[in-house]
Amino acid sequence: MQAFAQKLVSLQPAAKLACAVLGIVIIHTVFRLLERKLPLHFRRQDARYRARKFVVFAGYIVALTFIAVLFEDRLGRVGVALGIAAAGLVVALQDLIASMAGWLAIAWSNLYKVGDRVQIGEIRGDVIDVSFTRTEVVETGSWVGNDLYNGRVVRIPNSVALKSPIFNYSQGFRFLWDEVKIQLTPDSDHVLARNVLLGIATEAVAGYRMEAEISWKRVTDNFRMEDVSLNPTVSLIVRNGMLEFTLSYIVDYTNRTSMQDRLFAEMVQAVHESNGKLIWAKE
């Protein structure tokens, strides 16, 4: 290997240039093939993603090492020129450098990773890729339900991570407090309404209640914050002469829309079966 490296260094400039082009083409072809084939040996999607990113990163390292070895004898002569050029590049490529600094912040601080649901600035969705310069997010919300994909893939410069708030729905406590509101006439039985709403919500969250309590305890053990109840609650106010009930509950961040659909469907059924004790308010 050392003898081969010495032969590369001793080549004429024109031959080195041709060798550099040929070497880069070969390295690109080999690692492109590895990028396609290697992930197929992993079953888990996250393992395939990490394998693909590792191959891409290794390809850059091999290419840079090859160029450095090939032009080793000339690097010292052009050191000053490279320093001046580098200073100019820092000014010209400050956005790119900021994005790469943002990538380091994302990786080292574990701000988010592939698969997390995040909100970066005004964009909310699931992270599908984090490269050196940008983060790709499949957007949720906008003109569809809060937790449904709308079909857009948003490419966000990593520099945004250094200057914008980042909300991560997947780290720590993966549940959210959500609420729905209904209005009934003042003649409705408000005690019955409260009990019905609590019963519906309690049954709806029972499937993941234990998981939520364990997750919340882990958060309160690690951070200085109040240990609040995770039980559904109902509050009542009078608005425009009508009884307005607000049902608050915890829900997995991916199921907000489906949970609201379930709760409203069961509320409609409960009102229908109340024999006139519960009456929908009319605008």
CA distance 199 to 259: 15
pLDDT (0 to 100) of residue 186: 92
Give the chain's end-to-end CA distance (angstroms, integer). Answer: 84
pLDDT (0 to 100) of residue 46: 61
pLDDT (0 to 100) of residue 185: 93
pLDDT (0 to 100) of residue 212: 86
pLDDT (0 to 100) of residue 47: 65
CA distance 124 to 142: 9
CA distance 122 to 184: 35
pLDDT < 70 positions in the chain: 1-16, 41-50, 53, 69-96, 222-225, 227, 283
pLDDT (0 to 100) of residue 175: 86
CA pseudo-torsion sign 199, 200, 201, 206? positive
Q: Cα-Cα-Cα-Cα dihedral of 113, 119, 124, 129, to 10°? A: -20
**Range 111-168: architecture per CATH:** Roll (2.30)
Please state which CATH number belongs to domain 175-272: 3.30.70
pLDDT (0 to 100) of residue 16: 67
Distant-in-sequence, close-in-space partners of 123: CB < 8 Å, separation ≥ 6: 137, 139, 154, 156
Domain chopping of the chain, boundaries: 2-92, 111-168, 175-272
pLDDT (0 to 100) of residue 144: 76
Q: Helices 13-37 & 45-70, crossing angle to 10 degrees?
A: 170
Name the pairing type of β-strands 166-168 and 149-157: unpaired
pLDDT (0 to 100) of residue 263: 94
Residues paired with 242 in a beta bridge: 239
Determine contact, residues 264/249, Cβ cutoff 8 Å: no
Nearest to 17 by CA among 57, 67, 54: 67
